[in-house]
Structure 1
Amino acid sequence: MGRSGGTEHLTVEREGATLVLTLNRPEAKNALSLPLLVGLYDGWLEADADDDIRSIVLTGAGGDFCAGMDLKALAGNGMEGDAYRDRMKADPELHWKAMLRNHRPRKPVIAAVEGYCVAGGTEILQGTDIRVAGESATFGLFEVKRGLFPIGGSTVRLQRQIPRTHALEMLLTGRPYTAAEAASIGLIGQVVPDGTALERALAIAEQVNACGPLAVEAVKASVYDTAEMTETDGLKSELERGWPVFGTDDAKEGAKAFAEKRPPVYRRT
């Protein structure tokens, strides 16, 4: 992989057309810090701005995804990373954008989860598009056990992503969930052997990268834009967004490559 920026708590690397963002605070199970949040948001912006990036993989270093808010810091002097306070002051919603609460990248985001993915980690997860986890991964929203509120979007999003009874059980009990349980209720899509989540996520990203980027981005946008519409309005919106894709050079290239039995070369035109 090629390194392309980041902060002391967030590593940014390129793997072909995939941007790999790694939460890199393993000594704290990648609990949230200012350098981590700023680096994460900058990573989303980099992916949005660079047309050569076709997918994003989000993972964690040291065998964990993210343990959420740093409770020790919350009980003490606040989050680590004084050098980044000006960034947070300049954009009061930066942390929500970093956690995918108030920002949605236009490229597909694939989560590769190992170890702990709890509290804020499970909240960030809900902002990703495709989710892979090692079989020993742990999920859950523990906030109520600490007298806190899962304000990263879970009381809104979770019931829209999994059945409400499961959402409420997770929200109101604060108990941990295994990867198998998380898959059974639809919170994650795939369970893989421990230590291979990133490998599987990168393989999925390669499949995404081989597709027409204009089509991929239009499909993702349509899925989210129509989620709360009636079927009639959603179908109208889908046609308005999807029909122009057929007039692109990429669409012609896809058909031509199929006829010529070769891989397509897409140029985002």
Structure 2
Amino acid sequence: MGGTEHLTVERAGATLVLTLNRPEARNALSLPLLVGLYDGWLEADADDTIRSVVLTGAGGTFCSGMDLKALAGDGTAAGPYRERLRADPDLHWKAMLRHHRPRKPVIAAVEGHCVAGGTEILQGTDIRVAGESAVFGLYEVRRGLFPIGGSTVRLPRQIPRTHALEMLLTGRPYSAEEAARIGLIGRVVPEGTALEAALETAARINACGPLAVEAVKESVHRTASMAEAEGLAAELECGQPVFATADAKEGARAFAEKRAPRFRRE
């Protein structure tokens, strides 16, 4: 497993847990963090024993956004990380899930601040759980900046347009309760239990057929901007091959035999 000084990578069964690990800076996005995060997405894609990913933050905070000191040129980063960015100028966008979509489901476990770049990364995740004291928001306009991590495109597609524009144009903070009410997150749990809840959800996903899970995710994302007829055709392309797999036969057989299925990605 990979990781850097600002990004921790761990396994919890079939779940890969990626932890933003700069608690002293409220997990602000640094180059070592972004490189580690992108490598984590690649690891999840490459390893078929990984069936889901949980993204969380250390120290009771998810992510406070970009490290503005580094953005202003005051920060320093080790040479190898700079070399990675020079070799792949889109690496930071891929790390933030702007230019990359993992095959496996990604579950966000949010505590504390999840603002600016944190809320932008959040929009690239599939399922979102937050502790009741979590705070969300896109603060960029308050600093004369633009939320260029994808929010002007993705947010109006994920929550009602009026709520998306209010969040984008006011830069105000949103409580976990309000974020759930407008649909930015799916569930609010007691403070300090978001990771536990996310891992429980991941375990449920891990118990399902992995080929089916990945095909469902692909279909949802592929058809998101399609007209209904086009989307239904694409859904067949994603879904029909699943019925021919050994896993599909195993699922039916396990149901008939009243036992847990043993899926093998076949």
Distance 1:96 1:78 in 2: 19
Q: Report the Cα offset of residue 204 of structure 1.
A: 0.1
Indicate whether 1:58 and 2:55 are aligned: yes
Q: Indicate the SS of the match to 2:185.
A: coil
Write the letter of the residue equivalent to 1:118. V
Distance 1:212 1:131 in 2: 21
Kept in 1, the 8 Å contact 2:108–2:122? The answer is yes
Q: Indicate the SS of the match to 2:55.
A: strand
Distance 2:129 2:178 in 1: 13
Match of residue 83 from structure 2 = 86
Indicate whether 1:22 and 2:28 are aligned: no
Match of residue 128 from structure 2 = 131
Match of residue 141 from structure 2 = 144
Name structure 2 gaps, 5 residues minimum: none
State the identity %: 80
Q: 1:189 aligns with which of 165, 186, 189?
A: 186
Distance 2:15 2:66 in 1: 27
Match of residue 212 from structure 2 = 215
Match of residue 159 from structure 1 = 156
Q: 2:72 aligns with which of 68, 71, 75?
A: 75
Distance 2:72 2:31 in 1: 16
Q: Indicate the SS of the match to 2:157.
A: helix
Write the letter of the residue equivalent to 1:251. A
Q: Report the Cα offset of residue 79 of structure 1.
A: 5.4
Write the letter of the residue equivalent to 1:77. D
Write the letter of the residue equivalent to 2:16. L
Distance 2:174 2:138 in 1: 9
Distance 1:162 1:25 in 2: 29
TM-score by length of 1: 0.97
Kept in 1, the 8 Å contact 2:2–2:39? The answer is no
Q: Report the Cα offset of residue 76 of structure 1.
A: 4.2
TM-score by length of 2: 0.98
Q: 2:233 aligns with which of 216, 220, 236?
A: 236
Q: Indicate the SS of the match to 2:2.
A: strand
Distance 2:108 2:225 in 1: 24
Q: Which runs of 4+ in 1 moved over 4 A?
A: none
Write the letter of the residue equivalent to 2:250. E
Match of residue 202 from structure 1 = 199
Match of residue 96 from structure 1 = 93
Kept in 1, the 8 Å contact 2:109–2:195? The answer is yes
Q: Indicate the SS of the match to 1:92.
A: coil
Cα RMSD, aligned residues only: 0.9
Distance 1:17 1:115 in 2: 26
Distance 1:75 1:5 in 2: 28
Kept in 2, the 8 Å contact 1:33–1:81? The answer is no
Match of residue 169 from structure 2 = 172
Per-residue CA deviation, residues 163-199 of structure 1 (Å, 9 max, x unaligned), is 1100000000000000001000000000000000000
Kept in 2, the 8 Å contact 1:30–1:61? The answer is yes
Match of residue 42 from structure 1 = 39
Q: Report the Cα offset of residue 245 of structure 1.
A: 0.5
